[in-house]
Structure 1
Amino acid sequence: MTTSATSPDPVVVVGAGIAGLSAAVSAAEQGAPVVLVDRAGPLEAGGNTRWTSAYLRLDDVYEPSKSFVDELVGFSGGRTPSWYVEALVERLPEAMEWIQGHGARFRRLPTYFINSNRPRLQPQGGGEALLAALRPAAEKLGVEFRYHTTAQHLVTGEDGRVTGVRVSDPDGEHVLPARAVIIASGGFEGDPAALGEALPGDVSTLIPIAPGVRFNKGEGIRMALAAGAKRGGQWDSFHAEPVDPRADNPEALVMVFPYGILVNKLGERFLDEGRGTVDETYESTARAVWAQPGGIAYFITDRRFELVGDRERGLLTGCKPVTTENVEDLAAALELPVARLRETVAAYNKSVVDGEFDWRRPDGKHTEGLTPPKSNWALPVDEAPLLAYPVACAIVFTFGGLETDAQARVVDEQGAPIPGLYAAGECTGIYHDKYPGGTSVLRGLVFGRVAGSAAATA
């Protein structure tokens, strides 16, 4: 479909991830003409959704856990608005029914959290399967896709209403008139300069979790702020994951860190590797690694790692471990100070108390007299071969973004909706302190659909 001078102005959607496609399809289902723009090409578009496993924090297809609201609000220290989470829960069943009607299917599949405490549901085929369900639906409904097109600035009328968006494409810059604009273009994790201004650390050591990160440069957020939008979320934080910096495959996760020790480039331990299950501690572990010299650490274990039955499920890196017969050779291979690593490993081994090891759950097998301690899964590291994986901090998405209301309308500093402007997905800021896993794709789906329906009737 191509809009003409006599056609009504379209809903313009910025971004082709789960939030953007949900918005585009939903608006088109209401009979509105829709134009979707994305800076990527057709083979790369999809944002972070295209690359994620898309775990959903659900007990069943239509049901979150009874503690869902309390957990999401609690993870933020009470700063995530409870009304937002309650609205998400209320609209969840209808949204899940809708996406299944477009062909998506969900199953409870094993996750890379091999000793998880929390439920996870997953679309068969991951995030790309959700996009693959919605793209043909959008095309059938006449949504016009404009790839290699970057939204730059919002156009507003004298009354402050958003009436279009200025974009740049291979033919130059021009304005797309719009009855409403929906921003669904992710965070600013793909803009090193913006990250450097916002985050309190060396952003040069952060590793993009997947290729989709580089397309999320934050223009959608910035152009809304320029139009008077209110900031939401924690701007100096981001969703972090521990990855193998050697690997070139997306989401090269190292989620087995409780089953050995983590040392920095000084050869020293710096946290309790066994303080909780992987799903509870992976993000804080990644952040702790980022805070180390050079933003790197090394997961070290030994032959006893074979006792962890599902260990391969927690290793998504395409690289093999560094393997040696003794600590001295391992230190040399990792370019760590030999004497200090030897002391660290010896002190750890000496502190391990007897007990029954159970990799599936917190087993209480701990250390005594060691700083920092290890609270669970403490096995000595002294049985050849010794194994090591480098670990770095990956950035998935930024926490800071736009504030919206229950209708996905972007609000100003006084909390009033900006007419004609909507937003959904990772460009909206709700997270603080700790990411509640399995919620980003979920909220993009739910509120993308809300935004599309509302914008179509704006």
Structure 2
Amino acid sequence: MRCASTPRKRASGWTPARASRTPSTPAPDAPSKEKSMTTSASSPSPVVVVGAGIAGLSAAVSAAEQGGSVVLVDRAGPLDAGGNTKWTSAYLRLDDVYEPSESFVEEVVGFSGDRTSKEYIETLVDRLPETMEWIQRHGVRFRRFPTYFVNSNRPRLQPHGGGEALLNTLRPVAEKLGVEFRYHTTARSLVTAADGRVTGVVVTGPDGEQVLPARAVVLASGGFEGDPAALADELPGDVSTLIPIAPGVALNKGEGIRMALQAGARRSGQWDSFHAEPVDPRADNPEALVMVFPYGILVNKDGERFIDEGRGTVDETYESTARAVWSQPGGTAYFITDRKFERVADRERGVLTSRKPITAGSLAELASALGLPADRLAETITAYNKSVVDGEFDWRRPDGKHTEGLTPPKSNWALPIDEAPLLAYPVACAIVFTFGGLETDPEARVISEQGAPIPGLYAAGECTGIYYDKYPGGTSVLRGMVFGRVAGIAAATA
């Protein structure tokens, strides 16, 4: 994919001097203590896949189906491997099993301000039917299912059992095909020949440091959302207030991206942005979403509104809302509503936190419970209530029930907050995955800084950068599956 690059600072952790072309050069964060490195000349070199999420397993299975040997490495153990895929609902932006919407390409490219490669997305659509046929042949089943976007009228396709079901289906297939899984093993750097071809991977694991020789390497190791230092280098805000959406986030530390950059790969995607979701910071469950913010108001720690909560449906606005919350003092806000919230019949579908709302009988009591300035909160809600115009409330779709003379305005679903009990949820910004990554072409080959494919190096999933500005929901698992399979076949047959 040929995506425009955004000017950015060069963080020292991402752009060290070009890696040596000998097997003895680990990445900068590899252990300093030298350990034995082994290679094997007794059999043809395998395809080495880095990462056991949907992109990595799709690559491993597809490569093994070509008849060659495959080694898959993952820093996690067998119970925790799978990256973000293990924890996601895995909604797919599809109208049917084989069919995206007619406007799929235009929507995805348009979300990026036309910076995402149209050729890449067209290839995704072209390869979609065969990929869905392939994954179903291995036992995955899909259903159309309402999402947590309460006022979106567009159900999305979902595998039965979500992302974990994808992993639980493909992993035994890979094992049956002879894929060698090396858990608790972290890839550190690439080994390249004199002509620039990637010929192996330096890894550290239970047996120390080793070189795994490879006929080709597929990077499928996620973004760098699990590396606080890299986030601080690249993102513009206080990364300490970001909440990992799920445990898999912490395992994605960016080594796959880093080692490819060391080998001369080109950056792509928006490096200073990420996929964001609004969550309850009190909760201990993964993906503790609070997707009902249009049905009340959001205030910051100063008791002030800062955004038009009803400017669009939840699926259109949740990400920008989460980022707006991140920009507030302490990276926290509070969703406040009242008894009229009960009019939203499907409200429970949009609240996935394990914690109950904070309730109160009066504004003063609520302010005390939330630790907000009581006078300022009262002023904010009084001004909001006075600005609400008459109209018919319809939670299912934008209803035009708005405010007048209020800054910021509320464009839809404006109901006064004046009927006890009052209730509130704290809201923070969760990081799901980073947008910045490697440039790849429609054959999943990693592209060099000179614009040519790096021989023997492929990448798929969230370590590849295609997103800018706004995440087109339901595309991450989808592209990981499609281009993971593309990468696996190409790596095994090149």
- TM-score, normalised to structure 2's length? 0.92
1:119 to partner: Cα distance: 4.2
Residue equivalent to 2:366: 330
**Unaligned regions of 5+ residues in structure 1, if any?**
none
Residue 428 (structure 1) aligns with: 464
Post-superposition Cα deviations, 1:54-88, rounded to whole Å, max 9, x if no partner, equal 00000000000001000001000000010010000
**Residue of structure 2 equivalent to 1:202:** 238
Instruction: Within 5 Å, give how 1:273-284 maps onto structure 2.
Output: 273-284=309-320
Q: How does 1:175-186 map to 2 (within 5 A)?
A: 175-186=211-222
Are 1:137 and 2:183 an aligned pair? Answer: no
Q: CA deviation at 1:449?
A: 0.1
Contact 2:147 2:155 (8 Å CA) reproduced: no
Q: Check 1:152–1:4 CA distance in 2 against 1; reply closer, same or farther (3 A cut).
A: closer
- SS of the aligned residue for 1:240 comes to strand
Supply the AA of the counterpart residue of 1:6.
Answer: S
Which residue of structure 2 lines up, in the alignment, with residue 158 of structure 1?
194
8 Å contact kept, 1:117–1:279: no
The correspondence for 1:237, drawn from 270, 273, 282, is: 273
Deviations 1:365-386 (A, max 9, x none): 0000100000000001110000
The question of whether the paired residues in 1 share the 8 Å contact of 2:73 and 2:181 is answered with yes
Letter in structure 2 aligned against 1:233:
G
- Determine the C-alpha separation between the residues in 1 that align with 2:369 and 2:427: 15
- Residue 93 (structure 1) aligned to one of 125, 129, 138: 129
Provide the residue aligned with 2:483 in structure 1.
Answer: 447
Q: How far off is 1:170 after superposition?
A: 2.1
Q: CA deviation at 1:118?
A: 3.8
Instruction: Describe the SS at the equivalent of 2:191.
Output: strand
User: 5 Å matches for 1:16-27?
Assistant: 16-27=52-63
2:440 is aligned to: 404
Residue 177 of structure 1 and its aligned partner are, at CA, apart by: 0.4
* Percentage of pairs with the same residue: 84
1:13 aligned counterpart, secondary structure: strand
Q: CA deviation at 1:46?
A: 0.3
Q: What is the DSSP-based 3-state SS (H/G/I as helix, E as strand, rest coil) of the residue aligned with 1:333?
A: helix
Distance 2:232 2:156 in 1: 33
Instruction: Give, in angstroms, the shift of residue 32 of structure 1.
Output: 1.2
1:239-388 paired onto structure 2 within 5 Å: 239-388=275-424
Deviations 1:183-205 (A, max 9, x none): 00000000000000000000000
CA distance in 1, matches of 2:125, 2:306: 38
Contact map agreement 1:58 1:119 (CA 8 A) in 2: no
Give the drift of 1:116. 1.2
Which structure 1 residue ranges, 4+ long, deviate > 4 Å from structure 2?
A: none
Q: How far off its partner does 1:4 sit?
A: 5.8
Aligned length: 456
The correspondence for 1:147, drawn from 180, 183, 206, is 183
CA distance in 2, matches of 1:81, 1:118: 25
Which one of the candidate residues 106, 113, 118 is aligned to 2:142? 106
Quick check: 1:47 aligned with 2:62? no
The correspondence of residues 5-44 of structure 1 with structure 2, limited to 5 A, is 5-44=41-80
Query: In the alignment, what sits opposite 2:3?
Result: none
d(CA) in 1 for partners of 2:459 and 2:152? 32
SS in 1 for 2:156: coil
> Do structure 1's residue 63 and structure 2's residue 99 form an aligned pair?
yes
SS at match of 2:486: helix
Q: Deviations over 1:261-317 (max 9, x none)?
A: 000000000000000000000000000000000000000000000000000000000
Opposite residue 263 of structure 1, the aligned amino acid is V
2:270–2:436 contact (8 Å) kept in structure 1: yes
Q: Is residue 117–residue 277 contact of structure 1 (8 Å, CA) maintained in 2?
A: no
Secondary structure of 1:419's counterpart equals strand
Deviations 1:400-422 (A, max 9, x none): 00000111000101221000000
| Structure 2, gaps ≥5 residues long | 1-38
Q: Is the 8 A contact 1:198 1:235 kept in 2?
A: yes
- In the alignment, the residues of structure 1 paired with residue 348 and residue 135 of structure 2 have an alpha-carbon distance, to the nearest angstrom, of 31
State the 1:121 CA deviation.
0.7
CA distance change for structure 1 residues 150 and 315 in 2, over 3 Å: closer, same or farther? same
Residues in 2 aligned to 1:117 and 1:168: alpha-carbon distance in whole angstroms: 48
- The one-letter code matched in structure 1 to 2:151 is N
Q: 2:210 aligns with which of 174, 181, 185?
A: 174
CA distance in 2, matches of 1:148, 1:25: 20
Q: Distance in 2 between matches of 1:365 and 1:133?
A: 47
Q: Deviations over 1:334-374 (max 9, x none)?
A: 00000000000000001001100000000000000100000
Separation in 2, partners of 1:394, 1:186: 16
8 Å Cα contact 2:435/2:468 also seen in 1: yes
CA distance in 2, matches of 1:327, 1:428: 48
Q: In structure 1, how many angstroms separate the alpha carbons of the residues matched to 2:416 and 2:190? A: 59
Partner residue, 2:229 = 193
Name the aligned partner's letter for residue 420 of structure 1.
Answer: G
Matches of 1:129 and 1:100, distance apart in 2: 12
Mean Cα deviation higher: 115-124 or 417-426: 115-124
The separation in 2 between residues aligned to 1:350 and 1:4, in whole angstroms, is 76
Distance in 2 (alpha carbons) for counterparts of 1:190 and 1:68:
30
Hey, what does 2:31 align to over in structure 1?
none
